[in-house]
Structure 1
Amino acid sequence: MSVTWRGSLLSGPAGSKRGSTGPSSSRGRVWRGSSGGSQPAPSTDDSARGAKTRAPSRGGPRGGRGRRGDISGSSAHPTGASGRSNAGPFRGNDNGKLDESHSVLNNGSRSNGGQENGIKAPPVFGSRSGTSSGQSLRPSSPFGSITNTNGPFTDRSRDPRRQSAKFSGGSAKSGKPQDYNTRYEQLKLDRAKQRTEAVKSGQMADPNQPISLTSAITPTGTCTEMCPEFERVERIVQKMVDKSEKYTDQESGVSHTVEAKMLKRFRRSAAGYDEQLPSDIRTPKTLLQTMNYLLRYVVEDDETLATTHKFLWDRTRSIRNDLSIQQLTQAQDVSIAVKCLERIARFHIVALHLLSSPENSEPFDHHQEREQLNNTLLSLLYYYDDNRNLIKFPNEDEFRAYYIVFSIHDQRPDLEARVQNWPRELLRSPRVQVALELFAAAGNTWEYQGTLDAKRPNAIAQGLYARFFRLIQSPSVPYLLACIAEIYFNQVRQTTIRSIWKAYCRHPISQQHKNQEWTVDELTGTLAFDDNNQTIDFCEEQGLQFATNADGQMYLNWGQFPLDSVGA
């Protein structure tokens, strides 16, 4: 199945696809194959037109490995497979480099970056604010001004990892090697003084004095660097610098630590750790700058997403932690926080799709990824609700839709009641409406949901597996929304098997062996897999057995099949 994807993924509202064909598999498959011919120009809406897709396969995303050009060439809507193309969130150009117009993690409204088949495609991360039509869009950066005004948006010459003369292992000013141990000891002395001054000035509570909740002090960050100086030096001394924070000389292969590209790591609050100083917490503007750096110089680097994912996962969690600690209320700060969280949520969604493949050789914890996505979406919903009449969030309907589909297997089957409290314009949004349709079609009544003794069937469950997969392949479902729905593909397939059994196996067990209608080919189409091998693997995982008919075709043998074994 040929495929072409032109969608804004992590930057602006997620794109959608057109001209899809039948769904084909379980979670994690990346579409391949390229369709030629011109495509309709993208609309001002966040959906990107003109993609042919098929359903994700249970074999997992194929685009999560290889260099960036490979990832971009093999990823697309989670409903397709077979062949290779420049489809997907990470897109390679003719030189094997990533095309900025199809990157996956940025945010904002559309801009005309990148061009394919003579038609400009919207950048995946949205347009750069403060520019007019036809104007070259460039962001401000702590790494110097931009000299090149043509070509791709990302100027890699300004990436500190590539500035070997400036960051070759010594001081940027003197060129002499730094004694980090001496510097570390001095910073520890200065840190004690800073803590005392912060307590006296009321910036933080005295850790040695009891304090009531009503008198609690909300920390305010003052750090304007991507990583506080104390942490930078401490991690250098303790040899805890990530490879993504180093410069590697291309000739000698020697790596050097680059302080300018170090990012604050996530650290849990635990016994033995002192409370963070104001100088340890980054300001909202610095957090946005850090997020931009991750998207422009780490996500779009030439390494695989699988190898950089752990670094990205930790540093984005650190950004969320700094936002949470400060409890931002000012409109400007809240807008920045929402931008960061929206991009982080898109990153987790894409990672769930691309890195769930068995072919991914790097460690990937699907459960932890879902947990962090859930926490990010909840933080976004709180910001949306708390600032309902103060700030307009242009992407709110997009993330409300993600939340709905992500709640398909929620322990509280009361989503329909909860969404009634949302503003009317949100409920009427096409994104939210299609998400509600997916939610209802994917639900079932045989698997009870709830907590403790309150478990009960889902009130709006329809169990319409065919409708669910038709929606997934339809133009109304954007790429990222399909990536989230992909999490529940196997659950819907289990519902499919149960429905088939109830419809075809009512006659006595002694006669069930005569039912040979459900061949492997028929099941592959109904269960939305890419090929027969995936169908056979899935059915065997469910405890089902196959037999061979007179024509040599394998079919599902219902005679030895206990219904309760599916999904058990």
Structure 2
Amino acid sequence: MSLNKKAKSRPRPPMDPSNTAKRRAARSARFSSGTDLKYQTLRKSRMKEQEAFEAQQSKHWQESTILVGTCTQMCPEFEVAERTIQKSIHPYEKHPETHQPDPEFTVKAYHRPAAGKGPILPSDVRPPAILRKTTEYLLQQVLRKHPFHEAHAFVRDRTRAIRQDFSVQSSFTNESIYCHELIARFHIVSLHELKGQPAFSSQQEIEQLSKVLYTLGQLYDYKRMKNQANRHEPEFRAYMVLLSLGDPAISVETLSWSPDLIEKPIVQTALALHSYAQRNNHTEQRFKHVDLSLISSTNTEAAPNFYTRFFKVAKGFKTTFLMACILDMFLPSLRTGALKAMKKSYLSAHANIPFSDLLRILSLPRNEELIKICKSHGLQIEFTDEQPLSVILNKRALIHDPLPEDNEYSYLANTKHPKISISNIICVASDHAKLQRRRSKKDPRKNSSSKRGSNPKIL
């Protein structure tokens, strides 16, 4: 008690009036800067705009007017001022010399609808023409200036804001289709380029890709109702089929597509891959949430397990690079199904499967990868002089499904990469530049056409 009394009775040191004045001046300068004054002015005008906008809206949703964006920049002025005060300006959005927010580089960020923030105002939304300009800026200039793995998170967030602006305006314009097509290609390339990165989530990327393709399907259907067809529709319809590789019901959905769309070569290739990928040897599990396969664990009745045809078509010229990026997600499960199908076909009295034949069947380029696959599935390999000779694969062999971390094998898309920048893969139309496909040197069609005077044989 005596110590506390002494501490309370101890006199405080005298305060320096000059230091107090300096602190007050610094605080006043901090809270009365030009940025803060601009933010307060924009906030007042925003409140007036919100009152006028709410007064125009009717209580009945059928009588309410459709929101039309009025923002003429890539980022609304109020958001720039707000994020400047919050110090949430991305380094890509700052001027390289002044390190201050630049309207030419600042892009609207994605914001979830939250209670208490009020409705979305026209000044917050960009019209379709500005959204197209913003999409091209992100996927052309930003991806060319910065490494893809560093710019991915920034571009992914800003493209979500672009899709949100199209959604709130109920836009079915050509700009909306164009932007969604580029964004879909961006997500598909991300699945391949960022596979295995620590901060990358394939599940979240697939979720965003599914939403983009679903929106594109609605846009294409609307255009066909107006008797307007889009030239890139077959390409993205094919991606829809491949992304549903484990869903047999997708074949029923394609019955509503027009005959001219079904007959497109890229759609035919996707449907063939979907048909060949069906299998009936999935490991039945009691709970769906413990399924370790990207393909549905529900077996397809009377599936022929055409794994050889699947890999043949997948490696062929008709399968593009972006199609291979999607197929790479399903290759581990398809290889497991192929091993199970071969297990039922071979008796123990038969000779072991040659290692080179199994390497070719599973479409693997290196021996090390097949050795890793066999070990992860519990298969034994016979060696001769430290070289793999054959694989013991018959009805007596025990095969178990590998864990997800054991599925890091070679990717089909690596063999089909067009060797150009990612920005060009996303933004350049594949049917004009032929960037996504690489014709094999042994293609018989190319060799036959190069011979002069030779007539094609009609069968």
What TM-score does the superposition give when structure 2 sets the normalisation length? 0.72
Q: Deviations over 1:144-183 (max 9, x none)?
A: xxxxxxxxxxxxxxxxxxxxxxxxxxxxxxxxx9721121
Give the deviation of 1:487 after TM superposition.
1.8
Q: 1:199 aligns with which of 54, 67, 74?
A: 54
Please show how residues 303-322 of structure 1 align to structure 2 within 5 Å: 303-322=146-165
Distance, in Å, in 2 between the alignment partners of 1:277 and 1:389 is 31
Q: Structure 1 residues 255 and 487 mapped into 2: Cα distance closer, same or farther (>3 Å)?
A: same
**What amino acid is the match of 2:278?**
G
Query: Would the aligned equivalents of 2:50 and 2:119 in 1 still touch at CA under 8 Å?
Result: no
Q: 1:241 aligns with which of 89, 96, 112?
A: 89
Q: 1:300 aligns with which of 138, 141, 144?
A: 144
Match of 1:420 in 2: 255
Distance, in Å, in 1 between the alignment partners of 2:374 and 2:177 is 42
Where 1:384 maps in the other structure, the secondary structure is: helix
Q: 2:68 aligns with which of 194, 209, 220?
A: 220
Distance, in Å, in 2 between the alignment partners of 1:472 and 1:455 is 22
Give the deviation of 1:213 after TM superposition.
4.2
Distance, in Å, in 2 between the alignment partners of 1:499 and 1:182 is 71
Match of 1:398 in 2: 235
1:185 aligns with 2:19: no
Where 2:224 maps in the other structure, the secondary structure is: coil
Give the deviation of 1:186 after TM superposition.
1.5
Q: Structure 1 residues 256 and 430 mapped into 2: Cα distance closer, same or farther (>3 Å)?
A: same
Query: Would the aligned equivalents of 1:444 and 1:495 in 2 still touch at CA under 8 Å?
Result: yes
Distance, in Å, in 2 between the alignment partners of 1:374 and 1:502 is 36
Distance, in Å, in 1 between the alignment partners of 2:318 and 2:250 is 21
Higher mean C-alpha displacement, 476-485 vs 557-566: 557-566
Where 1:299 maps in the other structure, the secondary structure is: helix
Distance, in Å, in 2 between the alignment partners of 1:389 and 1:460 is 37
Query: Would the aligned equivalents of 1:320 and 1:341 in 2 still touch at CA under 8 Å?
Result: yes
Q: Structure 1 residues 456 and 484 mapped into 2: Cα distance closer, same or farther (>3 Å)?
A: closer
Give the deviation of 1:418 after TM superposition.
1.4
Where 2:140 maps in the other structure, the secondary structure is: helix
Match of 1:167 in 2: none
Residue segments in structure 1 that go unaligned for 5+ positions in a row: 1-176, 206-210
Query: Would the aligned equivalents of 1:401 and 1:431 in 2 still touch at CA under 8 Å?
Result: yes
**What amino acid is the match of 1:193?**
K
**What amino acid is the match of 2:39?**
Y
Q: Structure 1 residues 536 and 218 mapped into 2: Cα distance closer, same or farther (>3 Å)?
A: farther
Distance, in Å, in 1 between the alignment partners of 2:168 and 2:302 is 38
Distance, in Å, in 2 between the alignment partners of 1:475 and 1:429 is 15
Match of 2:276 in 1: 441
What TM-score does the superposition give when structure 1 sets the normalisation length? 0.59
Q: Deviations over 1:247-297 (max 9, x none)?
A: 334xxxx73332321101111112243221111011111101111111231
Q: Structure 1 residues 328 and 492 mapped into 2: Cα distance closer, same or farther (>3 Å)?
A: same
Distance, in Å, in 2 between the alignment partners of 1:457 and 1:525 is 26
Query: Would the aligned equivalents of 1:350 and 1:483 in 2 still touch at CA under 8 Å?
Result: yes
Where 1:259 maps in the other structure, the secondary structure is: coil
Q: Structure 1 residues 257 and 287 mapped into 2: Cα distance closer, same or farther (>3 Å)?
A: same
Give the deviation of 1:321 after TM superposition.
0.8
Q: Structure 1 residues 368 and 456 mapped into 2: Cα distance closer, same or farther (>3 Å)?
A: closer
Higher mean C-alpha displacement, 306-315 vs 484-493: 484-493
Match of 1:347 in 2: 186
Q: Structure 1 residues 433 and 567 mapped into 2: Cα distance closer, same or farther (>3 Å)?
A: farther
**What amino acid is the match of 1:486?**
D
Q: Structure 1 residues 276 and 535 mapped into 2: Cα distance closer, same or farther (>3 Å)?
A: same
**What amino acid is the match of 1:310?**
A
Give the deviation of 1:522 after TM superposition.
3.9
Q: 1:377 aligns with which of 206, 210, 213?
A: 213
Distance, in Å, in 2 between the alignment partners of 1:369 and 1:348 is 6
Query: Would the aligned equivalents of 1:349 and 1:373 in 2 still touch at CA under 8 Å?
Result: yes
Q: Deviations over 1:201-241 (max 9, x none)?
A: x2x46xxxxx4443454322111111101111111111111
Where 2:300 maps in the other structure, the secondary structure is: coil
Q: Structure 1 residues 259 and 466 mapped into 2: Cα distance closer, same or farther (>3 Å)?
A: same
Q: Deviations over 1:408-437 (max 9, x none)?
A: 023xx2222211111110011111111111
Q: Structure 1 residues 567 and 415 mapped into 2: Cα distance closer, same or farther (>3 Å)?
A: farther
Match of 2:425 in 1: none
Q: Structure 1 residues 266 and 448 mapped into 2: Cα distance closer, same or farther (>3 Å)?
A: farther
1:552 aligns with 2:354: no
1:463 aligns with 2:311: no
Distance, in Å, in 2 between the alignment partners of 1:246 and 1:557 is 61
Higher mean C-alpha displacement, 557-566 vs 184-193: 557-566
Distance, in Å, in 2 between the alignment partners of 1:545 and 1:421 is 44
Q: Deviations over 1:493-544 (max 9, x none)?
A: 111111121122x44xxx7xx954343x4433222223222223333333x2
Superposed CA RMSD:
2.9
Give the deviation of 1:455 after TM superposition.
8.7
Give the deviation of 1:464 after TM superposition.
1.5
Give the deviation of 1:392 after TM superposition.
2.3
Q: 1:485 aligns with which of 327, 334, 359?
A: 327
Where 2:181 maps in the other structure, the secondary structure is: helix
Q: Structure 1 residues 541 and 265 mapped into 2: Cα distance closer, same or farther (>3 Å)?
A: farther
Q: Deviations over 1:48-90 (max 9, x none)?
A: xxxxxxxxxxxxxxxxxxxxxxxxxxxxxxxxxxxxxxxxxxx
Match of 1:12 in 2: none
Give the deviation of 1:343 after TM superposition.
0.7
Query: Would the aligned equivalents of 1:448 and 1:458 in 2 still touch at CA under 8 Å?
Result: no
Q: 2:175 aligns with which of 333, 336, 346?
A: 336
Q: Structure 1 residues 558 and 428 mapped into 2: Cα distance closer, same or farther (>3 Å)?
A: closer
Q: Deviations over 1:380-410 (max 9, x none)?
A: 0001112214222111111111111111023
Residue segments in structure 2 that go unaligned for 5+ positions in a row: 1-31, 289-295, 405-459
1:263 aligns with 2:102: no
**What amino acid is the match of 1:240?**
S
Query: Would the aligned equivalents of 2:95 and 2:105 in 1 still touch at CA under 8 Å?
Result: no
Distance, in Å, in 2 between the alignment partners of 1:323 and 1:457 is 39
Query: Would the aligned equivalents of 2:276 and 2:305 in 1 still touch at CA under 8 Å?
Result: yes
**What amino acid is the match of 2:92?**
S
Match of 2:435 in 1: none
Distance, in Å, in 2 between the alignment partners of 1:399 and 1:460 is 29
Match of 1:281 in 2: 125
Percent of aligned pairs with the same residue? 30
Please show how residues 87-126 of structure 1 align to structure 2 within 5 Å: none
Q: Structure 1 residues 539 and 233 mapped into 2: Cα distance closer, same or farther (>3 Å)?
A: farther
Structure number with higher relative contact order (C-alpha < 8 Å, ≥ 6 residues apart):
1
Distance, in Å, in 2 between the alignment partners of 1:367 and 1:274 is 32
Q: Structure 1 residues 306 and 550 mapped into 2: Cα distance closer, same or farther (>3 Å)?
A: closer
**What amino acid is the match of 1:326?**
Q
Q: Structure 1 residues 178 and 226 mapped into 2: Cα distance closer, same or farther (>3 Å)?
A: farther
Equivalenced residues, count: 362
Query: Would the aligned equivalents of 2:353 and 2:393 in 1 still touch at CA under 8 Å?
Result: no
Q: Structure 1 residues 460 and 239 mapped into 2: Cα distance closer, same or farther (>3 Å)?
A: farther
Where 1:349 maps in the other structure, the secondary structure is: helix
1:432 aligns with 2:261: no
Where 2:157 maps in the other structure, the secondary structure is: helix
Distance, in Å, in 1 between the alignment partners of 2:109 and 2:266 is 35
